[in-house]
Amino acid sequence: MKSLLVERNRTVILLLIVIFTFGSYTYIKMPRESNPDIQIPIISVFVGFPGISVEDSEKLLVLPIENELRSIEGAKELRAFATNDDAHMILEFRTEYDNKEVLDNVRSKLLNIKSKLPIEAESPIINEINLSLFPILNVGLIGNLPERTLTEIARKLKKEIESLPNVLKVEVAGMRKETVEVIIEPTVLTKYNIQSNEIFQAISNNNRLVGAGSLENDTGKYSIKISGLLKDIEDIMNIPIRSQSDAVLRIKDIAKVYLGFEDHQGFARINGLPSIVLEISKRNGKNIIDTVNQVKYLIDKAKDQLPENLKGMFKKAYASS
């Protein structure tokens, strides 16, 4: 056997090269995960009831649902939380159970229990928890900048990061939604004999898409829509409320319009400083190292266009935000 290998040494060397080449290729392309995609059936159930107290939430929502869900075959652990305005339950099953079967069983049980819940309670919301969709990387933006400027930068980065092939989605924490405030003086309404609902209706009617029929030609049929969406404060201020002969009463004549932000529903801090955090999740099956490198490369290129007093820092997945 030894002499045979020596006699055919070129064939042996070629075979070793082929094995080494394919082995190296397989190693490079092998998926890498900090948390492997293990299918663990975990179901989240949320029931809203505005105005309910913690004690009543436990008695009227948690206990009936908990008793019903515990009877499902294969349930490993059930955790329930009663809070003001809602109840939340997390149900974990053993790994040998199929996710679809588990989800169907939970839905069936909740249909049975619906008649036992208070009429004012909202319909239960069922979600399947997928561990592979958790963020793999957090990008924190910290800077002594106006909130609106920091928000615009975060939105732009979110859009660019989501365009990467390995990225599934980007959630933003610590960013408030923009709102428009229309402040009306009661004396002005009385002067022009205008009801406040007229103003609200005028703004609503001027902020929608209007269907204008369809156009048909040799290549097909196309629907036509006229965009009437409001783009800035000037559009809102110029909305007409009433008209008489050559005089037009507009919103700017009876109200002041400001851009603002909704009240804080939550906040993000890094090292005690207010910030906006981009929570990045990768696509299922994509290499976690390649995904992180793609995001870092994009951020490095974007740094040249960012203000000098804006700091960006990377944090590992599941870091507190």
Listing DSSP states for 173-211 in one string gives ES-PPEEEEEEE-HHHHHHHT--HHHHHHHHHHTSSEEE
How would residue 318 be classed by pLDDT, with cut points 50, 70 and 90? very low
Whether this prediction's pTM lies above 0.75 is answered by no
pLDDT digits (tens, 9 = 90+) for 12-60: 778 888 888 888 877 776 666 555 555 667 888 898 888 888 888 888 8
**What whole-number distance in Å separates Cα of residue 295 and Cα of residue 302?**
11
- Do 97 and 76 form a contact (C-beta atoms < 8 A)? no
* ∠ Cα 200 205 207 (to 5°): 100
pLDDT digits (tens, 9 = 90+) for 213-229: 677 777 766 666 666 66
Burial of 41 (0-12, 13-18, 19+ CB in 10 A): buried
Q: What pLDDT was estimated at residue 319?
A: 39
Residues of the chain with pLDDT > 90, as a percent, come to: 2
pLDDT digits (tens, 9 = 90+) for 197-212: 887 788 777 776 666 6
Q: What pLDDT was estimated at residue 202?
A: 81
pLDDT digits (tens, 9 = 90+) for 81-136: 888 888 888 888 877 777 778 888 888 888 888 778 888 888 888 887 766 677 88
Reduced to 3 states (helix: H, G, I; strand: E, B; else coil), residue 306 is coil
Instruction: Tell me how far apart the 2 most distant CA atoms of the chain are, in Å.
Output: 111
Q: What is the DSSP letter of 51?
A: T
